[in-house]
Amino acid sequence: KYSTMSANRGKLIVFEGCDRSGKSTQCAKLIERLRKEGHKAELLKFPDRTTSIGLMINNYLANNVDQRDEVIHLLFSANRWEGMQKMTNLLLGGTHLVVDRYAYSGIAYSAAKGMDLQWCRQPDIGLTKPDKVIYMTLNRDKASERADFGGERYEKKEFQAKVEKIFEQLQDPTYWQVVNGEGTIEDVHENVFNVVSPVVSSDCGPLKKLW
């Protein structure tokens, strides 16, 4: 139905970063801005807690149930795979996607537990590669002061420090951009938009696959 070579395809913009760095806030602002400027844009979020796999993930994050590290890792990945057809259809149909967390979170949080990084990469092989990753940073003391920090499984300062280290290892300057999450919501948004604007208006070629 759609050409995979479409020059007019939508762009895949992914937000990554530690807990409370402001990703969801900035995703919402970006969607609003893109639409105001006349683009078709949709917001997606991983984990997508609305599916049955997502519900299992939610119960794990809320500390209602335990899972082996391997099992929860594979569930997070499966939760992305179940969204892949919808994502591909939207992108090839010309809709930009703003995605709140992706495979990099999958690797960073699992590897921060001590799991083997190469093992962790495997289940996400072949997912659609983002055109741009916005990596949001925030001083850990400031992050832990933000609303609701500490409610879920991974929200401990020590653990977040480990996650940050892995994110730094995963950073690829060919398509990642670091954005400091410390300003006002508006200031951070302007920085985000300055990164995203040239991406949405350029021809990024056919969709590519992750590693």
Asked if 181 contacts 17 with a C-beta cutoff of 8 angstroms, the reply is yes
Cα–Cα dist 12/99, whole Å: 7
Is the bond preceding residue 123 a cis peptide, omega within 30 degrees?
no
115 binds, among ligand T5A, Na ion, none (CB under 5 to 8 A by kind): none
Which residues in this chain contact ligand T5A in the complex, by CB under 6 A?
A: 17, 19-25, 46-47, 61, 76, 100-101, 105-106, 109, 146-147, 152, 154, 184-185, 188
Q: Which is nearer to Na ion, 82 or 152 (CB)?
A: 152
Q: What is the DSSP letter of 107?
A: H
Alpha carbon separation from 1 to 6, 33, 93, 204 (Å, rounded): 11, 29, 9, 20
Q: Which is nearer to Na ion, 151 or 205 (CB)?
A: 151
Alpha carbon separation from 45 to 54, 80, 117 (Å, rounded): 11, 9, 23
Q: Which is nearer to ligand T5A, 23 or 121 (CB)?
A: 23
Least Cβ distance, residue 76 to ligand T5A (angstroms): 3
Q: Which is nearer to ligand T5A, 78 or 175 (CB)?
A: 78
Q: Report CA 175 to chain centroid distance, whole Å.
A: 13
165 binds, among ligand T5A, Na ion, none (CB under 5 to 8 A by kind): none
58 binds, among Na ion, ligand T5A, none (CB under 5 to 8 A by kind): none
128: three-class secondary structure by DSSP: strand
User: What's the CA angle centered on 5, arms 123 and 1, to 5 degrees?
Assistant: 85
Residue selected from 6, 24, 88, 144 as contacting Na ion according to rule CB under 5 A: 24
Q: Which is nearer to ligand T5A, 22 or 130 (CB)?
A: 22
Cα–Cα dist 109/99, whole Å: 17
Least Cβ distance, residue 30 to Na ion (angstroms): 13
88 sits near Na ion (criterion: CB under 5 A): no
176-180 β-sheet, strand order: 41-45, 96-100, 12-17, 132-137, 176-180
Q: Which is nearer to Na ion, 103 or 207 (CB)?
A: 103
101 binds, among Na ion, ligand T5A, none (CB under 5 to 8 A by kind): ligand T5A
User: What's the CA angle centered on 27, arms 24 and 32, to 5 degrees?
Assistant: 130
Least Cβ distance, residue 38 to Na ion (angstroms): 27
Least Cβ distance, residue 123 to ligand T5A (angstroms): 10
Binding-site ranges for Na ion (CB under 5 A): 24
